[in-house]
Structure 1
Amino acid sequence: MRIPYAPTEPADPTPENEAIYDRIRARRNPRPLIPLDLALLHNPAIADGYNALLGAIRTKASLSQALAELAICYIAVLNSATYEWTAHAPLALKAGATREALQAVKESRIQDKEALTDDERLVLQFTEQSTKHVKVDDALFERVKARFNDREVMELTITVAGYNMVSRFLVALDVTESNGKAIEMPA
């Protein structure tokens, strides 16, 4: 990492900081704090906000978790965020994405009709436009709106935006020293 990780216990153990560490630990339970947490905890208030937002994106959304994880994995590919891929590729498979779909994402074959469903291709096209160009063209957005309800459209949009933030943070600070390492399929 390009800066040292924050300590696993608050450097300034105020009740507020202790509560923040506890909330982050609760979200990670049964795992310990991860390197991403320790990078963020240089500022506990920011780490707390991050934890709340990303926790809600991951656990409170109605959008298919498999679709969300494929979008996150594609963001990792587009932004060369190996650590993000390593964390989320197994979650995509666990959520029900096929190995063939995940391999297509890894290889940026987002139009592959053999490996990807219509919904997967649509989500990945949206992910690519939002990630690479920020603006999603009207024709694609209308296709997304025709397929998903307003809540799911918002959730897809915040998932893509949020995990672009994550990947940029991970890569800029080289969290886990993963920059330059190959993106590999999970075992």
Structure 2
Amino acid sequence: MTNRLPDFDPSRATPEQKAVLDEILSGPRGNLNGPFLGWIHSPELAQHAQRLGAFCRYQTGLPLRLSELAILVTAQRWQAQAEWYIHYPIALEAGVPEAVAGAIRNGQRPTFDNADDALIFDFATELYEAKRVSDSTYSKTVDRFGHNVMINLVGLLGYYALVAMTLNVFGMRAQGQDSLPFAE
């Protein structure tokens, strides 16, 4: 699949598009890899989504390892090629064990050495499979992380589902991506 959107030429960007691009490039991401060059065709959506994404990626209250684990679960659930490609090395660097990431990519439940990793995996998996979270998983998550962080986790999962949908619908690949982690 190839990118279904018209090429974006930054030299022809509208003032609204330039404002979004400038904010993304000057923020913690510092690059346009991912859904941003898709969203830029709707600059108002792009601005709201990229700000939500910056919060979900950097300010949820979860350690980076757990955020990235949740993103990998999302990428696998949506078979989002670019999302996995971008976040897999970040997850490994953040401390997600390679065996855990590999099991997730293959749609299997990993063997966890860390209870927090298992809890995040269970929370995300239940939410994606059942469209709900059991009372038991809810209670464990609140007890461990508190309501605020759990609400942020739901936001993170929703945001990265939006990213995955964008990447999949428009056939977007990551910059430099030359392999696909999921069969098509």
Q: Secondary structure at the match of 2:92?
A: helix
* Aligned-partner Cα distance in 1 for 2:47–2:135: 35
Q: Is the Cα contact below 8 Å between 2:70 and 2:157 reproduced in 1?
A: yes
Q: In structure 2, how many angstroms separate the alpha carbons of the residues matched to 1:69 and 1:90?
A: 10
Cα offsets for 1:107-143 (capped at 9, x unmatched): 333252xx44221111111111222332222222122
After superposing on structure 2, the runs of 4+ consecutive aligned residues of structure 1 that deviate more than 6 Å are: none
Pairing 1:147–2:149 present: no
RMSD of aligned alpha carbons: 2.3
2:21 equivalent in structure 1: 21
- Whose relative contact order is higher, 1 or 2, with alpha carbons under 8 Å and at least 6 apart? 2
Cα distance in structure 1, aligned partners of 2:143 and 2:12: 47
- Unaligned ranges ≥5, structure 1: none
How many pairs does the alignment contain?
177
Structure 2, unaligned runs of 5 or more: none
Matched, 1:165 2:167: no
Residue 48 of structure 2 is aligned to residue 49 of structure 1: yes
CA distance in 1, matches of 2:155, 2:5: 28
> Structure 1 residues 148 and 172 mapped into 2: Cα distance closer, same or farther (>3 Å)?
same
User: Against the structure 1 CA distance between its residues 74 and 116, is the aligned structure 2 distance closer, same or farther, given a 3 Å change threshold?
Assistant: farther
Larger deviation, residues 49-58 vs 125-134: 125-134
Asked if structure 2 preserves the Cα contact closer than 8 Å seen for 1:10 and 1:17, the reply is: no
Corresponding residue SS for 2:96? coil
CA distance in 2, matches of 1:19, 1:111: 42
Counterpart in the other structure of 2:67: 68
On the 8 A contact 2:72/2:88 being kept in 1, the answer is yes
Aligned residue for 1:148, secondary structure, equals: helix
TM-score, with length taken from structure 2: 0.85
1:68 Cα shift?
A: 0.9
